[in-house]
Chains A and B, each alone.
Chain A
């Protein structure tokens, strides 16, 4: 049962990460258009966040138990708070950035860094910890890594398709961002609970 819950959470985190990229493009386009420049900054930001999150998560997964738990809670809190900021204040922040930075490249850099980099980094940091979770439960590390990133990538695909073809056509972007926040709270709470459970001897 716990493995079913585990894989459900891994898929959900994948859905959240890549679906968020499409929502981000909708958030940016009224302010900066939808040119290739916007997409270049957006994709680069998400890849930078995936990279940073993976390295951060790898470091956290090797901490001593007590510090690791604290780091996990901090990471989850950071993800939730930063998603809440994007959902609640994303548009006013973009209004401000648009006026404060006349150069579109600089404005996009600041926008992406403030609104998308932190939540995606925080979410991505749980990838290596999920690998550690499986590895601590008799799955060889290489296999654990393959399973987690394979399942997570399936979640990425589901996130993109679901967001593009089912959610954006029927719901407001602001409502979807709050939906993302709610799902993140639930899935991260479940994941923290799973990660705290002792590994079988």
Chain B
């Protein structure tokens, strides 16, 4: 017991300093989440409390709104390698709208439709994270799957980034749902999903996506446990050969300058963990023990 007091004495000033450095920290218990909003300088972070602690959902730099503060939001732009002209984008999960600002600056005429289940998340985006939905960036408050089922549109990008307290609801992880998503993609559309490494769920995620989409390419966000899966519903042309991907320079938009390093994103491509995926089970509406698989740690336990 003795070492605890000196250790506490050492850590306390650091903890107090961290708390002091924040301009404000607010907590919100919503219908679906326990959220923390913290502003430090010009950066506002949106975190969801979960059994793993607080998961950083999104962050925005109010002094430079185009800056992609959270690493995986850069990796989401890997979709450009497979569908370079995203005119219609559907995003399931609003978070702090960290992805939205740069996208609309780069593609001002594109439609970025977002579906969010939690009304408080939208309220916080508007009141704390300076995001205002527009005709180009409408937000619909609805379950993502119900929206996809009822939606009649076709999308160039369909981004799945829905989390509830650090995990994805099981019905947004199944083969049947991915088939519904595939049906809503344009012929050359790309399905983009934010996955988490570190548990058995990751391998089932990949196997389930591959059960629906003939071609899947994975990108691992540098320094984090996020993996962005890009999947398409066609077999040809081949998208898995990086040699056939468009040159990064041809994909650059003026707004990307200083905000998005597409060469780095391209370099984040990861080799699929074939051996582990081989033994994973495909998740279906009939069998989707997502919560259970998400508790089974793999040997690769990188920070999430």
Contacts and interface: CB of A to CB of B under 8 A. Distances in A.
B245 interface: no
B162 to A, nearest CB: 10
Contact of A33 (B171, B285, B289, B293): B171
A171 B169 CA distance: 18
Nearest to B143: A33
B268 interface: no
Contacts of B289: 168-170
Interface residues on chain A, size class:
20 to 34
B292 A169 contact: yes
A91 B31 CA distance: 28
Contact of A172 (B32, B117, B177, B287): B287
B145 interface: yes
Contacts of A29: 169-171, 285
Interface in A71-129: 91, 98, 102, 104
Contact of A35 (B117, B149, B170): B117
B174 interface: yes
A34 B174 CA distance: 14
Contact of B286 (A34, A165, A173): A173
A51 to B, nearest CB: 26
A30 B177 contact: yes
Contacts of B287: 171-173
A91 B284 CA distance: 13
A174 interface: yes
A32 interface: yes
Contacts of B149: 31, 98
B176 interface: yes
A197 interface: no
Nearest to B177: A30
B171 A30 contact: yes
Residue of B150, B174, B176, B292 ringed by the most chain A CB atoms within 10 A: B292
B146 interface: yes
Contacts of A31: 149
B143 A32 contact: yes
Contacts of B169: 29, 33-34
A4 interface: no
Interface of B: 31-32, 117, 143-146, 149-150, 169-171, 174, 176-177, 284-289, 292-293
11 contacts: A29-B169, A34-B143, A34-B169, A35-B31, A35-B32, A35-B143, A102-B150, A104-B146, A169-B292, A169-B293, A171-B287
Interface of A: 26, 29-36, 91, 98, 102, 104, 165, 168-174
The 6 closest A-B pairs by CB, nearest first: A33-B143, A169-B292, A169-B289, A29-B171, A30-B285, A172-B286
